[in-house]
Amino acid sequence: MNPPEHDVRKSLERLAAATKGGRELAFMEVCGTHTTAAFRCGLPSVLPRHVKLISGPGCPVCVTAQQDIDLLVEAAGRQGVTLCTYGDMIRVPGRRGSLQEARGRGARVHVVYSAMDAVALAQAHVDRQVVFAAVGFETTAPATAAAVQAARRRGLTNFTVLNSHKRIVPAMQALLERGAKMKDGLGIDGFVCPGHVSVIIGARAYLPLARDYAAPCVISGFEPWQMISALARLAELAQSGRAEVINEYPEVVSPDGNRAAQKLLDEVFQPAETRWRGLGLIAQSAWVLRPAWREFDAQVRFGLTPPEDCEPKACLCGKVISGLALPTDCSLFGRSCTPLQPVGPCMVSSEGTCAAWFKYSWRQAPHRPLPILAGASP
Amino acid sequence: MCLAVPALLVELNGEEGLADLHGNRLPVNTQLVPGARPGDWLLIHAGFAIGRLDEEEARETFAVLAELQAAQRAAAPEQADSARQEAPP
């Protein structure tokens, strides 16, 4: 493989050359960090007219089903429970408010930097039941596995996880399948694959997408030149009808990924069906605790059952995540749903598509000026 | 959420280490990168090292970042002016 060009202009020229005179191409990135990186540098505004970059289900906060959020809020409200969460989750509104609001009502909710911090908290406060909100893709899941193992080694009986870890490849597969089956499904001409998920799962993990669905996959880093270079490579592959997996982030991504992390995942978790916001149930798309680790499952420990899944009324987050709607298609966007008062998770998370649009791209929808900005003085 | 940053491992005690990130010292768990040693550049996510970087690559990344920062600083006054001009009425 040739090393990618470190030059934005050259990569853009390559992209333009690859798409010249060709059909319209739609590529999807499935990583919240890619979404933010693309918008921050104004990438959508410099792409050739017939190349679309769609943000897919790449933000773990955004794809977490409403019922899982409700479950977290319920767990936080239990007597004697201290709920530990990554900061991203704390403001996501559930049916009975967010974790932050639960904290306002007296629940003990702690923001942690690492799953190990939650284990340390459990060790320091044996009189409290510490529940860790385990959210994230393969990048984050090994840390939860390590935390659960550490809790067992230390003999902790007051540490559990409320788990909604997800696997990205089955979701990409589901999108491709639905795109092929349904009339209103989304045509995806290729994926910009997530850089840091790939560190764990390896480049080979995307081979089934290329083989079975003829979808080109290019693993990309997060600098503007890396993303544009990945798009140029995807356009070249799509135009020539070659479905290949190409690793353009070889400095950290290997063909087989991080074997130690995979082994750890396999020891603690097994794949299972789970619900995604906007995408519904997807087979094999969750990492759930293996039976041997059930004592660390907060749902088992506290007898929690997920409530019925019920997404906020009129919220288009589900469609935005699936690439079927733009944030500006949503009647709530910029009106009742803003980063300060978010309705849906895509506006809450700093990596959410709606938040990125609100922050960087509202001018692309001049036909719909945002009320919150109208009349604002510079 | 899947944000990861490269940092230099400076201390290691069993699996627990300390990494230097632009002068900040971060506690880091290295169990996912067996054989990590002080002096290694690691990719760090949520308190865990998830991968090892080629030293040259890491330096290159930081050099590009430093270059960008310098360019942004140099262009800052201009940018501020143009931002004012472009701001909505």
Residues A257, A334 within the same domain: no
Residue A202 per-residue DSSP state: -
**Is A254 contained in some domain?**
yes
Q: Do A196 and B4 touch (CB under 8 A)?
A: yes
List, in sequence order, every residue forming a beta bridge with A270; answer none if it has no partner.
A288
Residue A376 lies in a domain: no
Q: Which domain holds residue A342?
A: 317-359
Q: How far is A16 from chain B (nearest CA, A)?
A: 25
Antiparallel, parallel or unpaired: β A269-276 and A280-289: antiparallel
Note the pLDDT of residue A6: 66
Indicate whether A171 and A235 sit together in one domain. Answer: yes
What is the ipTM score, two decimals?
Answer: 0.86
Q: Taking Cα atoms as reference points, which of A53, A345, A74, A195 lies closest to residue B53?
A: A195
Q: What is the bridge-based pairing of β-strands B24-29 and B16-21?
A: antiparallel
Angle at A58 between CA A225 and CA A327, to 5 degrees: 90
Contact B1 A373 (CB under 8 A): no
Q: What is the pLDDT of residue A275?
A: 94
With CB atoms and an 8 Å threshold, state whether A136 touches B48.
no
Q: Are residues A355 and A309 in the same domain?
A: no
The runs of H, that is alpha helices, within chain A are: 8-19, 32-40, 43-46, 60-63, 66-76, 99-104, 115-124, 141-153, 168-181, 195-201, 207-213, 224-239, 259-268, 298-301, 317-321, 345-348, 353-360
Supply A16's token pair: 């333009």
Residue A196: its chain B contacts at CB < 8 A? 2-4, 43, 45, 50
Same domain assignment for residues A330 and A193 = no
* A235 and A180 in a common domain: yes
Helix (H) or strand (E) holding B13: strand B5-13
DSSP at A206: G
Q: Distance between CA A161 and CA A118 in Å, rounded?
A: 10
Question: How many A×B Cβ pairs under 8 Å?
Answer: 94
How far is the CA of A23 from the CAs of A50, A191, A268, B84, in angstroms?
7, 17, 46, 39
Give the number of C-alpha atoms closer than 13 A to the C-alpha of residue A135, restricted to the C-beta side: 27
Q: Are A53 and A27 in contact (CB under 8 A)?
A: yes
Mean pLDDT, each 10-residue run in order, chain A (378 residues): 61 88 89 91 88 91 93 96 95 92 96 97 97 97 98 97 97 88 73 96 97 95 91 93 94 95 98 93 97 96 90 89 89 92 89 90 53 45
Whole-number Å distance between alpha carbons of B46 and A218: 25
Which pLDDT belongs to residue B87? 41
Preferred mutation among A29, A199, A254 to probe B, highest tally of B CBs within 10 A: A199
Q: Do B43 and A196 touch (CB under 8 A)?
A: yes
Is A142 close to B3, i.e. CB distance below 8 A?
Answer: no
A282 strand-pairing partners: A274
Give Dmax (Cα) for chain B: 59
Whether residue B80 is contained in a domain is answered as no
Question: How far does the CA of residue A87 sit from the closest CA of chain B (Å)?
Answer: 10
CB distance A139 to B4 below 8 Å: yes
- CB neighbour burial string for A268-304, b if at least 16 within 10 angstroms, e if fewer: bbeeeebbbbbbeebeebbbbbeeebeebbbbebbeb
Query: A12 in a domain, yes or no?
Result: no
What is the Cα–Cα distance from A78 to A131, expressed in whole angstroms?
11
Which pLDDT value is given to residue A184? 57
B67 pLDDT tier (thresholds 50, 70, 90)? confident
Tell me if B40 is assigned to some domain. yes
Would you list the DSSP string of chain B?
----EEEEEEEEETTEEEEEETTEEEEEE-TTSTT--TT-EEEEETTEEEEEE-HHHHHHHHHHHHHHHHHHHHHHHHHHHHHHHHS--
A42: left (phi over 0), alpha (psi -120 to 50) or beta: left
The DSSP 8-state label assigned to residue A31 in this structure reads -
Domain residues for B11?
5-75
Instruction: Please indicate, yes or no, whether residues A239 and A181 belong to a single structural domain of this protein.
Output: yes
**A45 domain residue, yes or no:** yes
pTM of the full predicted structure?
A: 0.88
* Tokens read off for A328: 């500006």
Q: Is A15 within a domain?
A: no
Residues A277 and A349 in one domain: no
Cα separation, B29 vs A193, in Å, equals 26
> Do residue A294 and residue A326 come from a single domain?
no
**Does the distance separating the beta carbons of B32 and A142 come in below 8 Å?**
yes
CATH number at residue B46: 2.30.30.140
Two structure tokens written together for A146 = 């390590």
| Residue A81 and residue A210 in one domain | yes
Q: How many domains does chain B have?
A: 1
Residue B12 lies in a domain: yes
Considering only the beta carbons, identify the residue of A116, A136, A195 that sits closest to B1: A136
Look up residue A7 and give its two tokens. 């030059």
The verdict on B1 touching A (C-beta cutoff 8 Å) is: yes
What type of residue sits at position A4?
P
Rounded CA separation A373/A34 (Å): 26
* Cα–Cα nearest to A200, from A264, A146, A149: A264
Contacts of A117 in chain B (CB under 8 A): 47
Residue B53: what pLDDT? 87
CA A7 to mean position of chain CA atoms = 28
* Single-letter residue type at A288: V
Give yes or no: residues A250 and A323 share one domain.
Answer: no
CB neighbour class for A78 (10 Å; exposed up to 12, middle 13-18, buried from 19):
middle
Q: Which residues 22-61 on chain B approach chain A with CB closer than 8 angstroms? A: 29, 31-34, 43, 45-48, 50-51, 53-54, 57, 61
> Cα distance from B25 to chain A (closest Cα, Å)?
14
Q: B47 and A113: CB-CB below 8 Å?
A: yes
A344 and A300 share one domain: no
pLDDT in tens, B29-43: 999 999 999 999 999
The CATH number of the domain holding residue A98 is 3.40.50.11740
Alpha carbons A226 and A243: distance in angstroms, whole number: 20
Does residue A377 form part of some domain? no
User: How many domains does one find in chain A?
Assistant: 2
pLDDT for the residue numbered A185: 58
Residue of A nearest to B47 (CA): A114
Q: Within a domain: residue B49?
A: yes
Residues A187 and A271 reside in one and the same domain: yes
Q: 143-182 in A: which are within 8 Å (CB) of B? A: 143, 146
Q: Do A143 and B3 touch (CB under 8 A)?
A: no
Has residue B65 been placed in a domain?
yes
Which residues lie across from B16 on neighbouring strands? B13, B29
Q: Does A75 touch chain B (CB under 8 A)?
A: no
Nearest residue of chain B to residue A146 (CA atoms): B31
